[in-house]
Chain A
Amino acid sequence: METDIAIIGAGPAGLAAAAELGRLGAGRVTVIEREPVPGGIPRHCGHSPFGMREFHRILGGQAYAARLAAAAEATGASILCNTTATALQDGPALELTGPEGVFHLQARAVLLATGTRESSRVQRLIGGQKPGGVIPTGALQGLVHLNHQIPFCRPVILGTELVSFSALLTCRQAGIRPVAMIEPGPRILARRPSGLLPRLLGVPLHLKTEIAAIHGRERVSGVTLAGPQGKTHLDCDGVLLTGSFRSEAALLAGEGVDPHSTGPIIDSFGRCARPGYFAAGNLLRPVETAGACWSEGRRAAHAIHAALRGDLPDPSHGVPLTIRSDLIRYALPQVIFTDGPGRHGQIQLRVTRPVHGILSLHQGPMVIASHRINALPERRITMPLPKNLLPDPLILTLEETA
């Protein structure tokens, strides 16, 4: 098979790119989606808010997903569901797998928009037994919203990110009564006003607390919590592991992956190290809102459109960006261009912990930009780029101020 632009992943980023490429008349667009229905994570979400930036109204996840898919199809994109991209090849070309087995798709450009997943319990170093009933939020959303099933009745929820509160709402809707919300850090990680939610829903919140062990042989029977008061036992019948997202970058098989962002290394146009491949959306880094991913998808469409016409600068002319501070969790893009269509015009980054400090961009001995920031790990920080750069490597530092 052949197409002009192949997009892997029919979430907000992939579908936004498909619609925009169609509008630009960039060529034939084929979206590859492994699930039976397009829409990405929002399709698994019964709750709002989605859609403010895109459709100027507040939508539930499923309605939002349906609109995105319709918008892409309206511009002529074809969406191939039940189809998994199983390998990336030079060309670019994709090895795809569907119900009829393996087939190949040649393209002039490929956009990777495969999103994120949550960390497993091992990545969070949770000890204890391995009974049934320990699941990530993605699984809960699907069970409740797609199947109308409930995996447990009295779980503990680990995490206090935005997604943790989505999970709390989902529990509430499904008649599940969480017995506690657990946060290893000293404060709730979601922005206000969601911080008020657990108290509003009558769920006790334990800060500076970890799940030391999970108990139960067939089903969860309880957890050991380790917190400021030492170790305590809590009865429950499930554990919901929320947040702590990582990029779904398995297709890259470890090549061209940034250990900080967990996603692909990209330049300002979203180009990956491998020729012909672009990336957008939450794959780039965990995790932004659907609206932010949608914007990135649209921007990627412009970059791809330009690339197909030969309007992008040579990839080797970019200036690499290196992080030099433990306070910075990641910074994107990893290779900077200051000119050209469909560019990430800014550096986006996140910090590892709450910090007041000075964020500086260096080239050789020169400080070329410097900003005072007051940052929280849950907030995206953007840093505008100076107009003209030397060809020297860029270094990003963050000095904490008292």
Chain B
Amino acid sequence: MAENVIEARGLLKLYGSQRAVDAIDLDIQRGEIFGLLGPNGAGKTTTILMMLGLSEISGGTVNVLGFNPVREPLEVKRRVGYLPDAVGFYDHLTARENLAYTARLLAIPRSQSGRRIMEALESVTLADVADKRVATFSRGMRQRLGIAEIVMKQAEVAILDEPTSGLDPHATFELLEMIRGLKRSGVAVLLSSHLLDRVQSVCDRVALFNKGKIALMGTVVQLANQVLGAGHPILVEATGTDVAAALRGIEGVQNVAAEGDAWRVTADRDVRAAAAQRIVSAGGSLTRLADLQPSLEEVYTRYFQEARHAA
């Protein structure tokens, strides 16, 4: 079967005359982490609900693992794990009982379910509170329990809606680590977020949503190139020579700007090796050489500034 686990073509959602999702095309590939990014109300949740067959589709098609979520929602939902925005569990049940209920809905044989539940809880480090009622769980623990549900389900695709919203930095870090863990076990992950700097570190590709349309799609570097027009920014700190002149002479360098004691170099490719060689051969001593990832935050802000200007 194709390498795409999710394929949307002209996917459309109308609320009255409002186009909440406006004819988007989207491909999610097997084994990747894909980020749906966009401001509030951009249509991320709506897109996700249509993929799961939980919301009616107004137009276009969507195909999840070869199944049509409108016609075969049970097949889709058997294979796709979903962590809703602000996930809820039955407070009067324990973590284990909550997962046991899901296991029964999934028709997991009783002989396997106990083991699969425990393994899933271990993978999100909730094994020691397995028999505590969920009422006592923090936001982060609930979110992790949601991930455990997906692990137990042995889903091929995980769809996570705002998985890190409302989490402190440490909990966010842990959760992103678990999302990486899902990817390592071969699960394709689709996550939506507006916490850009966090998402940037885990996503292989992202799509930038704006008013129901996909404005930009690709890897973070591709987007940065498209929006900021800058390829690979690096930071160089060196002494003992005319650093700026040495750096400007390197092929592909577009701009060199002073940033405190250091220099910020913008080039259309990774020029770290060339820069190091140039400075050393010019007799300078290199004290720092850092790869500056283009920040998605910057891309995002700049893009929406431009979109507003254009409007």
A and B physically associate: no
Residue numbers of A with Cβ under 8 A of B are: none
